[in-house]
Chains A and B, each alone.
Chain A
Amino acid sequence: MKTLPIVDHPTKAHAFVADNERTHWHDQALWFVRSKRDKQAGSVPEWEYLRSLASQIKTETIAKLGDYLSEFERNATALGATVHWAADAAEHNEIVLKILRDHETLRIVKSKSMLTEECGLNHFLEDNGIEVVDTDLGERIVQLRKETPSHIVLPAIHIRKEEVGETFHEHLGTDEGASDPQYLTEAARGHLRDKFLAGEVGITGVNFAIAETGGFVICTNEGNADLGVSLPRVHIACMGIEKIIPRFEDLAVFIRLLARSATGQPITTYTSHFHGPRDPQSELHIVLVDNGRSQLRNRSEFRDALHCIRCGACMNTCPVYRRSGGHSYSATVPGPIGSVLSPTRDSSSYKSLPYACSLCGSCTDVCPVKIPLHHQLLAWRKELVDQNLLPYSKRISMKGASILFRNPRLFTFAGWVGRKSLKWLPHGMTHNRWNTWTIARELPEPPRESFRHWYAANRKR
């Protein structure tokens, strides 16, 4: 497997944060979504109960994952679907390509799917001469700009409407300087309508697949998934194996949590159920993809990360994500859950992500399926130290701190030196760009004496 370039989150975040205006606007936009989520969550009296229930269902599912997947395969096949299994991204892409080749397809329409993004399907198909059109509006914008999504629910959240206007002017011929969302959306609709009509195969993701029935559900707000699979005769649905849930009745729990957590809506505009191909002339293919999920399942401290229903709430709430932007994570799934998932794939490349977190714990409290995200990030830090991936300078400073804290007299002395040097050294020597703390902050004003000295002088019996 080719190794990825090392992602250094602080460096990547630097450019984003430096643009103060954009950072604030990005932060406000996502905070607005989180506030809507709070209102919705607060309006469901049994919200916390639902979270516990969802978490329990997921724990059960992941424990018996193999059984539920075979049950799903049996039931889906009985409904007339063809089920494929892919061990990794490459196999997934080959399976999709083979189906397209079998139907001599040159054009596909694809609704939002983080899995195909994870597998790099678009590039793969384009390299094989197939035109891919993302039909989710945000994804289409990102696709036209040759970027990647920066958020799993709001793929174009990092782009302003003025910038969308420029992109559409260039690619769709809209008026120059136009930034009215209504006008731009209309233009995108017209453009996509033609693409829908020309699409020969529809590819979609899957939100929930139900073992008991062999059916699956796709949630969208734009109805693009329905349109994308209603016109072509062939529908390919790609899903990670963790998208399975055991029973039809479990679906209600997740549907109630998903849209509320994601965008603060009570429910997505379209919640479409698919049970086999729609008529005898049509085909339905379901590709079940592992791509590292079984590996994650084998690690007890990170297993709960498979509960994730990709609502994006942890991103919206994360104060670091809001200020550093999704691209600073260099991963399909950014934010807190992305920082847990990415290092499981490649700990060396993604070693800075578990540290891109102040451990505030907001993600853990917001997560509808109760993944202990900030504790998993902490667990990752331990693991990185075990794997010798923490930079030497940091290791050494922690070793030094440990020695200091084990020796009260040394600690007292070092504290004295620190306080005195802060007092006596010129400001420029303690506050300069080599001292990261002081780039944006003043150091504390040193007191005359430490508490332990004060106590010895004033309270010793």
Chain B
Amino acid sequence: MSVALFIPCYLDQFYPDVAIASLELLERLGVDVVYPDGQTCCGQPMANTGCVADCAPVAHRFVELFAAYDTIVCPSGSCTAMVRHHYGDYFADDDPQFNHVKNRTFELCEFLHDELKIQSLDVQFPHKVSIHQSCHGLRELRLGASSENMTPREDKVRNVLNLVHGIQWCTPTRSDECCGFGGTFAVNEADVSAAMGRDRVADHVSSGSEVLVSADMSCLMHLQGIIRRESIPIEVMHVAQVLVGRMPKRVSPSAS
């Protein structure tokens, strides 16, 4: 099985370690993984603004580039959801390349959970951790059960993280409220977005969490911006970094 890694634009430029961790993790699990040259972005900023014509060529580039691989793995729920649920606007229903890419693009935790079905990980993370569920991961990809919906579902991100040794779970009171990032929403509706972010961080901090982990770095970029501005004592990490054994920079291991 040839696996291509799709690294979203902002991860490539601003969070390379998340990409490196994703790559190392897959390599350790014996996956034959490559990072195809020439990739950029899934087109989400344009699509979410409604600029379909500007998104179309980007979507087409994406499909052409990745159609050659059996599987595409992406360490971002939101970009995966874009490919799986919103690319339909840009391709014919019966386009074989498009259908292949659509059906074979997975979010990282989803890939580990559903495709590789990993059972164990030799990794320690002795910290107080809370999960920030990304809305697109949750309500578009259904990586877990959303609190509004009564259909029981497995929490794939948590299940995978549970294979890591030493995590002490902390639970925020609102299990899956939006952090307020929302792409261009953060700029369009700056005040509301910031208020949502501050509330989200406060909820995680009051749960006792020291490390806020998410499968979507875009949520974390926004939350981290608030954390640093307000000097709040909590750190953010992408789930790939935890799964590969990176340690938080500022927090020392907590006694269990």
Contact = CB atoms under 8 A, between A and B. Distances in A.
Contact of A10 (B49, B190, B197): B190
A401 B58 CA distance: 10
B172 interface: no
A183 interface: no
A360 B43 contact: no
Given A395-B51, A406-B57, A450-B12, A360 B189 contact: no
A419 interface: yes
A413 B182 CA distance: 26
Contacts of A378: 47-48, 50
Contacts of B138: 361
Interface string B135-163: 11011100000111111000000000000
- Counting contact residues on chain A (CB < 8 A from B), the size range is 35 or more
A44 to B, nearest CB: 8
A231 to B, nearest CB: 41
Main secondary structure of the interface of B (DSSP, over half): helix
B152 to A, nearest CB: 10
Given A48-B149, A401-B45, A451-B20, A358 B50 contact: no
Interface string A409-423: 001000100110000
Interface in A5-52: 9-10, 13-14, 17-18, 23-24, 27, 31, 38, 41-42, 44, 47-48
B16 A381 contact: no
Contacts, number: 213
A320 interface: yes
A411 B9 contact: yes
Interface stretch (A113-121, A215-223, A436-444): A436-444
A450 B41 CA distance: 14
B242 to A, nearest CB: 18
B221 to A, nearest CB: 6
Contact of A382 (B13, B50, B148, B150): B50
B15 A357 contact: no
A358 B49 contact: no
Given A378-B48, A451-B19, A358 B190 contact: no
B149 A365 contact: yes
A444 B15 contact: yes
Interface of A: 9-10, 13-14, 17-18, 23-24, 27, 31, 38, 41-42, 44, 47-48, 317, 319-320, 323-324, 354-362, 364-366, 378, 380-385, 390, 394-395, 398-399, 401-402, 404-406, 408, 411, 415, 418-419, 436-444, 446-447, 449-452, 454-455, 459
18 contacts: A13-B192, A23-B195, A48-B150, A320-B189, A323-B195, A359-B48, A383-B50, A395-B51, A399-B51, A406-B58, A408-B38, A436-B187, A437-B225, A441-B194, A441-B197, A442-B229, A447-B16, A459-B35
